[in-house]
Amino acid sequence: MPLLTGETVKQVMRDLYGYEVSGADADAIAHSAGAMLTLAAALGSIGLAGIEPPFGYPVLLAEAARLAKAAS
């Protein structure tokens, strides 16, 4: 898992957002973010090339068409 410490989280929160968090909260955020970064690194290897993002333009157009059809 990438090394992201609670101290790093506290500093980023403080420097970028002016927000103070407790050590326990910063550690929990660091743990969750580290796990997410580890899993995100593997996304390229699972074959998602043909899948559109949930709010991509083609999906928004299809949803608009579906809503327009339902309204008429």
Q: Is the pLDDT of residue 23 over 80?
A: yes
| pLDDT value for 45 | 81
Between 46 and 6, whose confidence is greater?
Answer: 6
Measured CA to CA, the distance from residue 29 to residue 6 in angstroms comes to 7
| Cβ neighbours of residue 59 closer than 8 Å, sequence gap 6 or more | 52, 53
| pLDDT value for 68 | 93
Express as a percent the part of the chain with pLDDT over 70: 94
Q: 54 falls in which pLDDT band (50, 70, 90)?
A: confident
Two tokens at 64?
A: 């608009």
Measured CA to CA, the distance from residue 65 to residue 54 in angstroms comes to 16
